[in-house]
Every structure is written in structure tokens, then in C-alpha cells.
Structure 1
Amino acid sequence: MVIEDVAFPIPQLADGVRKLAALFDKHGYDEALLFGHALDGNLHFVFAPGFESPAEVARYDAFMQDVSDLVAGEYDGSLKAEHGTGRNVAPFVRQEWATPPGTSCAASRRCSTRTVCSIPA
């Protein structure tokens, strides 16, 4: 089970929801549920991709790339609307933010010796 949350700018939320739903259809994830907090532009989605074969992993990878392109690229939205960056979204942090991720990690390390940065280089 995969649970993610994204955010679209509120004026484009309805259009973003329609396009996100179309991505689930495009990639064959017919059982997906979409719900959220419309006043905040926050949208959750839940679905059960298979990871049993390299083809299933590739299908999921293509889906997540399309989600990133849609949310962060087309709408300048957020790939981590309400919950932190997890394994599904970490590979797309560089695409979402223009600043190299290492910049914020380096600044954070100056303030704390316990900082852990797991953003891919």
C-alpha cells in the first residue's frame, strides 16, 4: 500500500485532481483512492502497486515521474504537502526545488550535530 500527499495551488486544484486521476488510469492503477483537504489544496492518494517484477517496478517509477512532472513541473505544487519527504518522493526533491538539496543539508549541519539528511545527491 502506498499513501502519498501532494498539493496544488488552490485555483488549479480541480484541474490538478482531474489530471492526477488520469495518471492513475494511464498507468493502470484502477483501484486508487483520492481524497484530501480542498481548502488547503492538499490531496492524498492511496493505491496498491505491485513490486513483484522489474516490469511492475518500472511501471511505478514511470507513474511517480509523471506525478512529479505534473505536480511540481506543470503546477509548481508540492510533492510533500502534509507529511515529510519519504522514499517515494526523495528522488524528486531536486526537480521540485531549484536550490540543490545539499545546500539546505549543509546549513542544517551547522546548526545541529544530530541532523540527518537523506536527500539523494
Structure 2
Amino acid sequence: MKRTVQQFPPVYFALVMSTGIISLAAQAQQLAGLATGLFYVNLVAYPVLLTLLVLRLVLFPKEFWVALTSHKEGPTFLALVPATALLGSQFVQLANNHFMGNMLWLAALINWLLISY
């Protein structure tokens, strides 16, 4: 488990991105069951992935920083930004929860600024 956390690639947030995109597209096509099911997938996947990323930061800060500032690995951290924003959009469009949507959009903006910097 330690090795999994230490080497956790943030590009796995692409799972949440793609699931969110398909979910919102399904909602637009009036496929509510599919849209909701994929939203539930993201409600599980996002916190799991975020926990792994935070554990990597807390337990292996030096390795985390090296990866974040690497030209090869650094851009993979940007997957967190659209994943967070898409989950926010799912909260607004599928759960009518504007508070969570706004909080996730704000988190996406902050992450984008921090990671881009």
C-alpha cells in the first residue's frame, strides 16, 4: 500500500473527468439512469483518488514536489482540475446542489492556479 501511495499518478483523475463528461452528456440526452449511475461512480472514485493524492503529499512531500515540478509528471496533476470542476457540474445538474457545485468549482480554480504556477 505504501508504494501505491508513494507512486500514485494523479492522471487517474481522468477517470472522474471521462465519467463526468459521459454522465452530463447522458443527462443532456435524457438518459437519467445512466447519468445518475455515473454520478454515483464519481462520488466514490473522486474521494478515493483525492485521498490517495493527499496521502502522497503528506507522507512523501519531497517525492510529491519532485513529481509536481517535473516536466514529465507535472502536467498530469492538472487532471485534478477538470475532474473537480466536472464533479461540481454533476452536483449542480444532477443533484441540484449548487453549494457543492460552487465549492468544487472554487476548489478547481484554486487547484488550477496552484498547479499552473
Same topology, TM > 0.5: no
> More helix by proportion, 1 or 2?
2
TM range (shorter): 0.3 to 0.5
The structure that is strand-richer by fraction is 1
